[in-house]
Amino acid sequence: MSWYNTLIRYRLWIGLALLALAIFVHMETSFWPSFILYLIAVILILGHFLLGPMRLIQVAMEEGDLEGAKKIVDSIKFPGLLIKPVRSVYYTLQGNLAMMNQDFDKAEKHMKKGLELGGGSLTKQAEGPNKLQLGMLSLQKGDFKQAESYIRQALRAGLPDKENESAAYLQLCSIMMNKREFRAAKDYFRKAKALKPTTPQIVDQIKQIEKYIARMPG
């Protein structure tokens, strides 16, 4: 649907052009001949400010074009005008991009904003992954108590696939090891391994933990 992506990319300018044409037709004739032009112009302009270019960002990220995704996100000048569920996704994307740039403070700030908005199916879908990311950020800061809380919340909210779920259990395993709760650590490790993840980083982490987890007491 490249035509639709093009429409999203340029709908503000198309809307403004149609609005100018509607005003011209209105002045040259009357209101009713220009009504349809006014209507389409308003829909396009409102769509630009209320819905934003989220589809374009998704396409860029799926193609691995992180720089392109960042440019599109940065092109949103008035995020406060986005409807609530879309605004939540916007802040989650900002958080993910900040994570990739190792800017953990900015990532945490945006992800918390996304969670605070709440409500809507889009937000609910993002809640689990968002809280998992916040848990990992807390681990980066050495705040194991907060990390454990976020990761447990992420599992309760639901994660989109076995890779994310396995990662969550591995993080809980590490936290339990740090707390010297070895029985719980082994239980979380078994859950992570049983999901049979294929992501190289997670597979490598499982191999590293497996080397010494069998020697743990409990």
Confidence of residue 130 (pLDDT cuts 50, 70, 90): confident
Q: What is the mean pLDDT of the chain?
A: 89
Q: Domain residues of the chain, as ranges?
A: 1-50
Q: What is the pLDDT of residue 120?
A: 55
Mean pLDDT, to the nearest integer, of 164-192?
94
pLDDT in tens, 43-68: 999 999 999 998 898 888 778 788 88
Mean pLDDT, to the nearest integer, of 106-125?
75
pLDDT in tens, 26-46: 999 999 999 999 999 999 999
Mean pLDDT, to the nearest integer, of 83-107?
86
Mean pLDDT, to the nearest integer, of 83-89?
87
Q: pTM of the prediction? A: 0.75
Give the residue with greater pLDDT, 85 vs 24: 24
- Answer whether residue 13 shows pLDDT above 70: yes
The CA distance from 74 to 34, in Å, is: 34
Q: What is the pLDDT of residue 212?
A: 80
- Answer whether residue 97 shows pLDDT above 70: yes
Q: What count of residues does the chain have?
A: 218
Mean pLDDT, to the nearest integer, of 67-88?
90
